[in-house]
Structure 1
Amino acid sequence: MKKIATLVLVSVLGGAITLGTYKTFLEEEQTIAQQEEKVQPFFQPVNYTASNSNLGAIEGINFTNAAEKTLDAVVHVKNITITTAQPSMRDLMLGRVPQRKQLGTGSGVIISPDGYIITNNHVIDSSEKLSVTLNDNRTLEATIVGTDPKTDIALLKVESDEALPYTTFGDSDTAKIGEWVLAVGNPFNLTSTVTAGIISAKSRDLSGESSQSFIQTDAAVNPGNSGGALVNINGELIGINTAITSQTGSYIGYSFAVPSNIAKKVVQDIMEFGNVQNGILGVRGGSLNSSAAEKLGVGETEGFYVDDVDEDTGADAAGLKSGDIIKKVDNIEIRKFSDLRGYLDTKRPNDKVTVYYLRNGVQQQAEVTLLKNNTLTIPNIGIIKDAKPKDLRKYKVKKGVKITAISGGYAQYLSQEGIQAGDIITKVNGVEVNSVEDVKEIIKNKDPYHPLAIELINSNGQNLKYAFR
């Protein structure tokens, strides 16, 4: 029995010595090795000092001033529309078209003490009745002053016996990627709500057609935030929150705002002219990238490549040519088409801009006067513009508009028919036309179920008629 006890004691003592040795000499090294396997260096601060520095920078930013300046200037917008409901059997028997009221909501920003409010066009589109609720819960009826579907901006007006709180426009061109911003809106009719984030990117185009130029942020924006304010830490309005990108319909980290410089220009045009005045440069082309640069045989992968220069435009008069690469306009760097589109959307006809471009690798510059856009793209036909007297004399007609480019799905067919740039369209849907504005008005009032009919005369003097759906 004593031998068994002694054996057990020796075993326990040996185990204790072994464990102690392991703890002292081996475990620390092994633990360190395990930590190295789990560590993700790109998620960790480089050192303690850098971590403290970053925290200090974030803690040093004060959002309260910007929030205080903006909260009372953001309103809740209610839009009542009349929609066609699913007809019942009784409706069908009686020949009735049932209608029902539908409520839509969004946000808006007061931009003057006398009650002018900016919001998105899609917030108030097709409205029968509009009202806005202020941050103090007062509700006021609103009227539409004007809209611009292209930029998705609308201007409203409310009447109040007292001056209203408002926010001031900032300069969106000077906003920097990485800069802190606040998104202020009314996403769920909870009165004004503030979220914070940074500017993730600028000149974003969601359409794929280079027709947009949004500020992208990671500030949380949800349905109902449309038309709300994007402000910098000084409380200056640098954007109108407009869209999110999401597979679920809810916010997942990307939101987009119309830059304030574009929104401000649209509002000023609506108030002064009743519509938006767009100044065009007069060039056609696209963004450069590695693939495009290789195809075109150029050494630049950023900028706007000029494919063609429209005649009688500012670019034409300034001497820009096909093959030029626009790198900068005034102080705005042009890396892609949406950079150029976004900046030109802040300009009007007769404004002058300085264009910096490369020609055969040599940088040059030219002062270009922007002109009013007198062209129109007709689907399946191409681009038309006002005809000059000499164009009409050449084709022996008194009225008409000039085709400047054939494009669209019927381009090859029209070319085979002998139609080319320079030919004159004399009638659209049986009505004589003498300007692009005439054509716009006819297309605007056209029955969507009927084809678009054109009559034209080509260079051979032939009178031709076509119908396009």
Structure 2
Amino acid sequence: MKNSTKTLLALTAAAAFGGFAATAIRDGLEPPAQAAPAAAVVPPLVAALPSAVSGQPMPSLAPMLAKVTPAVVSVHTKQRVSVSPFGNDPMFRRMFPELTQERINESLGSGVIVDAKHGYVLTNHHVIEGADEVAVTLADGRTLKADFVGSDPDTDVALMRITAPNLTALPLADSSALRVGDFVVAVGNPFGIGQTVTSGIVSAVGRSGLRGLGFQNFIQTDASINPGNSGGALVNLNGELVGINTASFNPRGSMAGNIGLGFAIPTSLARSIMDQLIANNGVVIRGTLGLESQDVDARLAQALGMDEPRGAVVTQVFSGSAAAAAGVKVGDVILAANGQRIDGPDELRNFEGLQPVGGRIALDVRREGKPLTLNATLREQPKSFAGVELDPRLAGATFAELPERLRQAGLSGVMVESVARGSRAEVNRLRKDDVIIASNAGNFEDLPGFRASFTQAPAQLVLRILRGNRPADLLMQ
């Protein structure tokens, strides 16, 4: 009997802490063959669960969550859209304006108060993207209008501000101290059903390489992150914010249920983006090395005297760039940046995209078969520039970097950000949101490369574009 009592206490403690051992408790309470019938034993034992085990209180997350949940808010957005039976055809829309109706699209998400004094609320960019109105509902039931401060689509971080007394904010932990196996808790508003808590562990840190999710340095967790949880809090057992829930990976959608692959933006990154949004009037200014690179294949690795085909081999260094100032040369193979392994150009680009202007980078380089460390200070990466700066045939167009979601989907090139009405670019049939993937002016993969390719403009300029999913070649007159 003494052993049975110990077993019961151990199983009871496991159930209270993990929340998933109810079946095990039931099975553990099944009596041995010589014991009294289960019906006579189980009810009084379950009804009289002890408040302590070996003198220690039963473990519970409730005290910690009582401090956390007031800082997690529900985010409600409204977007006004015009709906016409003729779709987006501008001619028919003008001919029959009375048939165009306004519709309000509503969506739900979550957010986290991180500064009670100033009312700052962090959430995901995709939660508030395109919204005309945003409101948040606090855990105490108050609904408040939220003002947009700024957002960064490429890291999926957005910042809002609310004004109200008695706000509760979450302290931000050092997410770089997270280890695989640490317990974490996700708090949010999944499916709009109300504030919900799920728990799990850190499955991985520094996760990247997920298609369509921008610059990546995710915390991976098996805590359930469902639709509506986006923008909510991922906290440690001290009730400190370690991440902003952003996505779940589920190829079959909700039909597959929770498969334990949730991702959160670490607070170290979210804090950096927030500080930039506040300091730079709602925008993020990124640093860049100012180089182009390509994969190291087996043949190239052998020619460079490398043991394995990995790293990013430099194919071009732009004049006046951070890389040029650091002494990077064409043919150098970048293997690591600030100690972070670089397996190819995608990893290098992702690393750069998460660094601020002025950030100092130690590059581990292989040059002519010998290891070398170069130190670079990142310079500002231009977000866009006017086509007339490159070639008169592009006058009226503005070019910008591709959104990172398109790069993660496998595209390279630049995007036409805008085209002035009646301009030479419009006459040449360039349109807003065209993606330029190639040009006879020279090879390029991104905005700096596109600009550098016009060092010697060709007599006939041809751009290969993607419009929607359809390619076309445009001759610039």
> Normalized against structure 2, the TM-score is what?
0.64
Alignment of 1:343-354 (within 5 A): 343-354=351-362
Contact 1:65/1:235 (<8 A) preserved: no
The alignment status of 1:141 with 2:142, answered yes or no, reads: no
Structure 2 equivalent of residue 368 of structure 1: 376
Q: Choose which of 212, 237, 240 in structure 1 pairs with 2:241.
A: 237
Q: Choose which of 149, 152, 155 in structure 2 pairs with 1:151.
A: 155
Pick closer, same or farther for the CA change 1:462–1:340 going to 2, 3 Å: closer
Q: Report the AA paired with residue 143 of structure 1.
A: D
Structure 2 equivalent of residue 83 of structure 1: 81
Structure 2 equivalent of residue 419 of structure 1: none
| CA distance in structure 1 between the partners assigned to 2:75 and 2:440 by the alignment | 46
1:176 aligns to what SS in structure 2? coil
Pick closer, same or farther for the CA change 1:174–1:81 going to 2, 3 Å: same
Structure 2 equivalent of residue 118 of structure 1: 122
Q: Report the AA paired with residue 136 of structure 2.
A: V
- Residues 285-326 of structure 1: CA deviation (Å, up to 9, x unaligned): 356687985797632355444444333211121112334333
2:115 aligns to what SS in structure 1? coil
Structure 2 equivalent of residue 418 of structure 1: none
Structure 1 equivalent of residue 269 of structure 2: 262
The alignment status of 1:443 with 2:417, answered yes or no, reads: yes
| CA distance in structure 1 between the partners assigned to 2:304 and 2:265 by the alignment | 33
Structure 1 equivalent of residue 396 of structure 2: 431
Contact 1:210/1:338 (<8 A) preserved: no
The alignment status of 1:99 with 2:65, answered yes or no, reads: no
Give the Å deviation of 1:72. Answer: 1.5
| CA distance in structure 1 between the partners assigned to 2:277 and 2:237 by the alignment | 29
Contact 2:112/2:122 (<8 A) preserved: yes
Give the Å deviation of 1:224. Answer: 0.3
- Residues 214-262 of structure 1: CA deviation (Å, up to 9, x unaligned): 2222110100011111223333322211111213322322112222222
Pick closer, same or farther for the CA change 1:467–1:355 going to 2, 3 Å: closer
| CA distance in structure 2 between the partners assigned to 1:290 and 1:176 by the alignment | 34
2:292 aligns to what SS in structure 1? strand
Identity of aligned residues (%): 33
The alignment status of 1:280 with 2:288, answered yes or no, reads: yes
| CA distance in structure 2 between the partners assigned to 1:143 and 1:375 by the alignment | 25
Pick closer, same or farther for the CA change 1:131–1:355 going to 2, 3 Å: same
Structure 2 equivalent of residue 315 of structure 1: 323
Give the Å deviation of 1:371. Answer: 0.5
The alignment status of 1:206 with 2:206, answered yes or no, reads: no
| CA distance in structure 2 between the partners assigned to 1:244 and 1:135 by the alignment | 24
| CA distance in structure 1 between the partners assigned to 2:362 and 2:227 by the alignment | 40
| CA distance in structure 2 between the partners assigned to 1:130 and 1:109 by the alignment | 14
Structure 2 equivalent of residue 452 of structure 1: 430
Give the Å deviation of 1:282. Answer: 2.3
Give the Å deviation of 1:133. Answer: 0.6
- Residues 179-200 of structure 1: CA deviation (Å, up to 9, x unaligned): 3222211113344322122222
| CA distance in structure 1 between the partners assigned to 2:292 and 2:173 by the alignment | 31
For the pair shown, the structure with the greater C-alpha radius of gyration is 1
Unmatched segments (≥5 aa) in structure 2: 1-56, 87-92, 402-413, 432-438, 442-453, 468-477
| Root-mean-square deviation over aligned CA pairs | 4.1
- Residues 95-135 of structure 1: CA deviation (Å, up to 9, x unaligned): 42122112100001111013111111111112122110111
Pick closer, same or farther for the CA change 1:158–1:295 going to 2, 3 Å: farther
| CA distance in structure 1 between the partners assigned to 2:176 and 2:194 by the alignment | 30
Structure 1 equivalent of residue 111 of structure 2: 108
1:315 aligns to what SS in structure 2? helix
Structure 2 equivalent of residue 414 of structure 1: none
1:452 aligns to what SS in structure 2? coil
Structure 2 equivalent of residue 12 of structure 1: none
Give the Å deviation of 1:366. Answer: 1.8
Structure 2 equivalent of residue 164 of structure 1: 167
Contact 1:214/1:258 (<8 A) preserved: yes
Q: Report the AA paired with residue 233 of structure 2.
A: A
| CA distance in structure 2 between the partners assigned to 1:466 and 1:228 by the alignment | 43
| CA distance in structure 2 between the partners assigned to 1:286 and 1:191 by the alignment | 48
Pick closer, same or farther for the CA change 1:425–1:206 going to 2, 3 Å: same
Question: 234-243 or 169-178: which moved more?
Answer: 169-178
The alignment status of 1:193 with 2:196, answered yes or no, reads: yes
Question: 123-132 or 179-188: which moved more?
Answer: 179-188
Pick closer, same or farther for the CA change 1:227–1:455 going to 2, 3 Å: same
1:135 aligns to what SS in structure 2? coil
Q: Report the AA paired with residue 452 of structure 1.
A: L
Contact 1:70/1:167 (<8 A) preserved: yes
Give the Å deviation of 1:466. Answer: 6.5
Unmatched segments (≥5 aa) in structure 1: 1-58, 377-384, 387-398, 402-423
Contact 2:76/2:108 (<8 A) preserved: yes
Q: Report the AA paired with residue 308 of structure 2.
A: E
2:271 aligns to what SS in structure 1? helix
> Normalized against structure 1, the TM-score is what?
0.65
Contact 2:304/2:368 (<8 A) preserved: no
Q: Choose which of 330, 333, 341 in structure 2 pairs with 1:325.
A: 333
1:83 aligns to what SS in structure 2? strand
| CA distance in structure 2 between the partners assigned to 1:291 and 1:185 by the alignment | 50
Contact 1:287/1:302 (<8 A) preserved: yes
2:192 aligns to what SS in structure 1? coil
1:233 aligns to what SS in structure 2? coil
Pick closer, same or farther for the CA change 1:374–1:140 going to 2, 3 Å: closer
- Residues 28-67 of structure 1: CA deviation (Å, up to 9, x unaligned): xxxxxxxxxxxxxxxxxxxxxxxxxxxxxxx999755653
Q: Report the AA paired with residue 355 of structure 1.
A: L
Pick closer, same or farther for the CA change 1:458–1:125 going to 2, 3 Å: closer
